[in-house]
C-alpha cells in the first residue's frame, strides 16, 4: 500500500515535499508583490533609505575592473543569451543527462518567472536610478536579471541537492544582484524582489513536479554493488 510520502501515490508531484515547496514559493511571490505595492503606494516609487545607502556605496566603489565585471554579468544575465541561449543549453544538458522532468521544470520556471517579472514591471512602473550606466527597458521593479538568476539557482539546487550546488547558487544570485546595483540599473529593493520571484516561481514548479523529480533523481543515482 502506497503512503502519502510515496511520490507515485499522488498525481503530478503533490507529495508532502511538493506541497511545502509550493507553499513557500507562493509566500515568496506574495512577499515580492507586497514589497512592490508598498514602495509604489507608500513611498511613491521613490528609493527606500536602504536603497539610497546602498547606491551611495556602489558609487563609491565603482572602478574599471568592477564595471567590466558588471558588464559581463549584464550580458550573461539578460538579452538573447539569457533568454534563449542559456535556457536551451541547460535544457539540452538535462536531456543528455536523462533528466527530462528536470528540463520540463526548468523551462516552465524560466517562462513563468519572466512572465511574473514583466507583469510587475508594467504594473508598478518604478523609475530606474539616475546613476544607470547601461541601456535597458522601462520598469526598475523587480530585477529581471536577478529573477532569472534565482530561478536557475533554485532549480539547480532541487535537481542537484548538494552543498556545492547551494553555495554556487547563492553566490550566483548575490553576484548578479551586486552587479545590477553597481551599474545603477536597479535599486537594492528591486534585486531583493527579483530574488523572491525567481525563488518562488522555481519552488512552485519544482513542487508541482516533486514526485517526478524524486523518481528521476533516484533512477540516476548509482546503485551499490551487491556482494
**For residue 181, which of 196, 191, 192 has the smallest C-alpha distance?**
191
Q: What is the pLDDT of residues 81-125, one digit of tens each?
A: 888 888 999 999 999 999 999 999 999 999 999 999 999 999 999
Q: What is the pLDDT of residues 191-205, one digit of tens each?
A: 999 999 999 999 999
Going by pLDDT thresholds of 50, 70 and 90, the confidence category of residue 15 is confident
What is the model's pLDDT at position 221?
64
CB 118 within 8 A of CB 165: no
CATH number of the domain that residue 170 is part of: 1.20.144
- Listed in sequence order, the DSSP H helices in the chain are 16-41, 49-61, 64-77, 79-80, 86-96, 100-124, 144-159, 163-182, 188-208, 210-220
Mean pLDDT, range 15-24, rounded to an integer? 91
Say if 2 falls within a structural domain.
no
For the chain, percent of residues with pLDDT exceeding 90:
75
Say if 6 falls within a structural domain.
no
Q: Is the pLDDT of residue 72 over 60?
A: yes
- For residues 219 and 83, give the distance between their C-alpha atoms in angstroms, rounded to a whole number: 30
Going by pLDDT thresholds of 50, 70 and 90, the confidence category of residue 9 is very low
What is the model's pLDDT at position 83?
83
User: Taken in order 43, 121, 195, 7, is the CA torsion positive or negative?
Assistant: positive
- For residues 196 and 194, give the distance between their C-alpha atoms in angstroms, rounded to a whole number: 5
Question: Pseudo-torsion of CA 167, 172, 175, 176, nearest 10°?
Answer: -150
Task: Identify the domain containing residue 148 by its residue range.
Answer: 13-39+54-219
**For residue 154, which of 101, 217, 105, 91 has the smallest C-alpha distance?**
105
Q: Which three cell numbers stand for residue 114?
A: 519572466
Say if 113 falls within a structural domain.
yes
What is the model's pLDDT at position 3?
44
Say if 121 falls within a structural domain.
yes
Say if 155 falls within a structural domain.
yes
Amino acid at each position: 500500500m502506497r503512503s502519502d510520502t510515496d511520490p507515485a501515490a499522488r498525481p503530478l508531484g503533490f507529495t508532502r515535499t511538493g506541497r511545502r515547496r509550493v507553499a513557500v514559493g507562493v509566500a515568496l511571490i506574495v512577499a515580492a508583490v507586497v514589497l512592490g505595492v508598498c514602495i509604489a503606494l507608500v513611498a511613491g516609487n521613490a528609493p527606500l533609505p536602504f536603497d539610497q545607502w546602498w547606491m551611495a556605496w556602489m558609487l563609491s566603489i565603482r572602478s574599471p575592473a568592477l564595471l567590466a565585471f558588471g558588464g559581463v554579468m549584464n550580458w550573461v544575465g539578460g538579452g538573447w543569451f539569457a533568454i534563449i541561449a542559456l535556457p536551451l543549453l541547460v535544457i539540452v544538458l538535462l536531456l543528455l543527462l536523462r533528466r527530462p522532468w528536470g528540463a520540463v521544470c526548468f523551462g516552465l520556471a524560466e517562462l513563468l518567472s519572466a512572465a511574473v517579472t514583466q507583469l510587475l514591471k508594467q504594473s508598478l512602473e518604478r523609475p530606474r536610478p539616475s546613476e544607470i550606466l547601461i541601456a535597458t527597458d522601462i520598469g526598475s521593479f523587480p530585477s529581471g536579471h536577478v529573477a532569472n538568476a534565482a530561478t536557475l539557482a533554485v532549480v539547480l539546487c532541487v535537481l542537484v541537492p548538494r552543498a556545492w550546488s547551494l553555495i554556487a547558487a547563492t553566490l550566483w544570485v548575490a553576484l548578479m544582484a551586486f552587479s545590477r546595483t553597481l551599474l545603477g540599473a536597479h535599486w537594492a529593493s528591486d534585486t531583493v524582489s527579483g530574488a523572491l520571484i525567481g525563488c518562488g516561481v522555481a519552488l512552485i514548479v519544482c513542487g508541482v513536479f516533486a514526485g517526478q523529480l524524486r523518481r528521476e533523481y533516484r533512477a540516476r543515482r548509482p546503485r551499490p554493488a551487491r556482494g
